[in-house]
Amino acid sequence: MSKEKMVGIYKEKQELIEALSDSIEHPRYVGLNLGSMASTSSTDHQETGKVQILERRLTIEDEEEEAAADHEVVEVIEDEEKEAAAAADNLAASLMEKLEVEYRLLSPTCCIFKVPHNLRVVNEKVFIPQAVSIGPIHHKKLERYEGMGKYKLHYLKQFLRRRPSITLKACMKDCVRMLKSHEKTARECYADDITLTSDEFVEMMMLDGCFIVELFLRSRNQLELGLHSEYDPLFDHRYLLNMIFEDLLLLENQLPFFVLKALFNFINNACQLPNLWEISFLELALEFVGYNEEDASTLQEPSHLLDLKYKTGILSERINEGDEDEGFSYLKIPTATQLWEAGVKFRATPLGTCLLNIKFENGTLEIPTIEVDHNTEQLFRNLIAYEQCHIRRPYMANYFIVMDDLINSPGDVALLNRKGIIINNLGGDEEVSNLVNKMLKNATFENKNFQYKNLYEKVNQYYQTPWHKQKAKLKHDYFNSPWSFIAFLAASAILICTFIQAVNSFKS
């Protein structure tokens, strides 16, 4: 019986009892004299008996219905308890199934990540390949990469033909077996689960890895040794080749370096590639990232190509670091214009010097030259994203903290451009200023890892010296433009002439 029906029966019984009570108290029974009461006592007695019998029947029915209702309530409660227990059992079983599944945690070799959402939303397009997809993250994701499929197949065929001692089919089998042996380790290099099957993953490594190695071999032959083996549309369309090279330095577009090295050795060890007998794949990759040092033996083997760019272009030299154990309340330094007005000299170190090697000694701020062009934002945002995901100290972020403090207007960019610190191939000074000021948007870092702590203290101490502050104020108020300086010279000349004339008049 439903709850609503039980409530309805209860209301009907209450209405019936009220009706019986009203009939007993009807006016015909009230206000009568003793005589009339005596004459009707027999009738009243009979009616009263009927009422009592009816009330008794109603009472019995009430008790029966209440008992039935109580029984139904008990059954409902028992059913609810059973349902709750069953739901709890189902949840426990589901959790046990999840516990029994062996979820893959990040391994120590994990080095390839998806760009964090907080960095991606600033400018998503700088993290997405424009010409070629490498690795599983963007594998077959966008139609724009389908056109590169034919180039990958062509490069794979030419790559395998570099082992002329065996047939193409036999070489393919050997290469697949070799890559199969590296599959597990390669998968562990990616932070996110890879949904590709084993065959799909090995095929991806085969096509993408052979494409990169063959591209590097052809690049060395054609661009450095002047060897042209066949027509190659990639090298005849420089814009496409440049886009491919830029795509190879995206965080989400990487293959593990050891896979590329294994493919190179697979070919080179078997046939001794012409002009490459004494070169390793690391040296071949260093040519790609533009590292010109002759001795690369001290370099630690990178995790992938972007990591190689990071280590050679960013950490190629040790820098003077602040004490990591000490907390550092982040301070700002004056802008480049303000420092120049205070007498600070700017000196550029040659292009190619480690960007982090910024020094301040004896009133001279020494900053490595940086070339800014259309690819600068893409490269540095990917380096910062890689650093945010993997590197212990935020070297790249700290560098842009300094540059962000120095550059606050197009005038600061123009000053650093005149000093040879910034080579502006991007366009106007305002574009460079905006690029630098927005580079660290949404990035996170700890002040205790700020390696320029000592430099900031020296710069601020120099700037706060009273004489330097007065010099800055004088230069800013009276010599802030070439015309102001010319006016000062003219006024000085007039003053000197007036003085000489006065002296001559006095002598006369």
Predicted confidence at residue 480, as pLDDT, reads 54
288-315 confidence digits (pLDDT tens): 988 766 556 678 889 999 999 998 876 6
Between 20-34, 71-85, 101-115, 391-405, the lowest mean confidence (pLDDT) is in 20-34
249-259 confidence digits (pLDDT tens): 999 999 999 99
Q: Is the separation of the CB atoms in 62 and 13 below 8 Å?
A: yes
Predicted confidence at residue 493, as pLDDT, reads 65
Which phi and psi (to 5°) does residue 20 adopt? Answer: -65, -40
If you write DSSP's letter for every residue of 120-131 in order, what string do you get?
HTT-GGGGS-SS
Which phi and psi (to 5°) does residue 422 adopt? Answer: -115, 125
Predicted confidence at residue 323, as pLDDT, reads 47
pLDDT tier at 171 (50, 70, 90 boundaries)?
Answer: very high
Q: Are strands 364-368 and 359-361 parallel, antiparallel or unpaired?
A: antiparallel
Q: Classify 377 as helix, strand or coil.
A: helix
Percent of the chain residues topping a pLDDT of 70: 68
- Here the contacts of 445-448 (C-beta below 8 Å, separation 24 or greater) are 445/394, 445/397, 445/398, 446/394, 447/327, 447/328, 447/329, 447/330, 448/324, 448/325, 448/326, 448/327, 448/328
0.85 cut: is pTM over it?
Answer: no
173-228 confidence digits (pLDDT tens): 999 999 999 999 999 999 998 999 999 999 999 999 999 999 999 988 775 555 55
Between 100-114, 145-159, 287-301, 460-474, the lowest mean confidence (pLDDT) is in 460-474
Torsion over CA: 494, 497, 503, 508 (sign):
negative
Residue 505: count other Cβ atoms within 10 Å of its Cβ: 8
Residue 425 pLDDT greater than 80, yes or no: yes
The CA-based angle 137-236-308, given to 5 degrees, is 40
User: Where are the domains positioned within the chain?
Assistant: 3-100, 117-313, 336-464
Torsion over CA: 32, 34, 40, 46 (sign):
positive
The CA-based angle 125-432-410, given to 5 degrees, is 145
Highest mean pLDDT among 108-112, 298-302, 393-397, 406-410: 406-410
Q: What is the mean pLDDT of the chain?
A: 81
8-58 confidence digits (pLDDT tens): 655 666 666 666 565 555 544 444 444 444 445 555 556 666 666 666 666
Q: Give the CA distances from residue 498 to residues 486, 488, 508, in Å, rounded to whole numbers and listed in that order.
A: 18, 15, 15
Closest CA to 249 of 310, 319, 293: 310
Q: Which tokens is 1 given?
A: 């019986």
Highest mean pLDDT among 230-234, 328-332, 469-473: 230-234
Q: Which tokens is 387 given?
A: 């650093």
Run of H or E including 349:
strand 345-349
Residue 170 pLDDT greater than 50, yes or no: yes
Predicted confidence at residue 156, as pLDDT, reads 96
> Residue type for 366, please?
E
**Helices 376-390 and 395-406: crossing angle, nearest 10°?**
130
469-505 confidence digits (pLDDT tens): 555 445 555 555 555 556 556 666 676 767 677 666 6
116-150 confidence digits (pLDDT tens): 999 999 999 999 999 999 999 998 776 567 788 99
Residue 227: count other Cβ atoms within 10 Å of its Cβ: 12
Predicted confidence at residue 35, as pLDDT, reads 47
Q: Give the CA distances from residue 441 to residues 118, 286, 405, 507, in Å, rounded to whole numbers and listed in that order.
A: 9, 30, 14, 71
Calpha distance 508→496 (Å, rounded): 18
Between 177-186, 348-357, 369-378, 478-487, the lowest mean confidence (pLDDT) is in 478-487
Predicted confidence at residue 29, as pLDDT, reads 44
Calpha distance 470→467 (Å, rounded): 5
Q: Is the separation of the CB atoms in 212 and 248 below 8 Å?
A: yes
Predicted confidence at residue 363, as pLDDT, reads 92
Q: Are strands 370-372 and 422-424 parallel, antiparallel or unpaired?
A: parallel
Residue 506 pLDDT greater than 50, yes or no: yes
Predicted confidence at residue 200, as pLDDT, reads 96
> Which one has a higher pLDDT value, 158 or 97?
158
